Structure 1
């Protein structure tokens, strides 16, 4: 029988197999059987982790490369049409046309007062 301090220290079940020796002469924590199982599980996990990181890297590359910039033209007219205001009024259920008339009246009054100053 193996002395207790040289028995496999497998955590989930008592194992009386002797611990394996390292190349430097020290003892491993596990026996040869549990070391081989732990190493195979670790290899499987490492392979899955590498595949996952590779897939994430490929996904990032495809997402970045699939976007194209929207062309921007500085000389394009930016005026708001009357139909646009009606559509906004319908969408937001506000009377935006009245607000626009109010703003134009305020600006006309400002222009009149500005002309009086000249």
Structure 2
């Protein structure tokens, strides 16, 4: 929750039993579902309404449920955050060993990824 000073207060206690949970790491305020939308980028009320409708039809409710579950179970800090977030969404990171060996030790690299929820971005 956001306190009177504007700081984000923990909403869940640290729980060392949760894998990847950093003890005493603060848990941020619940996500405001109104902010999880591309609709606000349009001036036209018709376009905003159309975008909101498409978002709900393409899985926004499911994504919000996953976010709430993530919040209930505890949000870890640092690197553990990503593993926990992907686990909640049921996303497996698969990188074949042969592909890893092709990554140059120096110089630029281009990564291409796919995800099941368009709103994950």
| Structure number with higher helix proportion | 1
With the shorter chain as reference, the TM-score category is under 0.3
| TM-score of the two chains, using structure 2 as the length reference | 0.22
Q: Which has the higher contact order (CA 8 A, sep 6+)?
A: 2
Q: Which has the larger radius of gyration?
A: 1
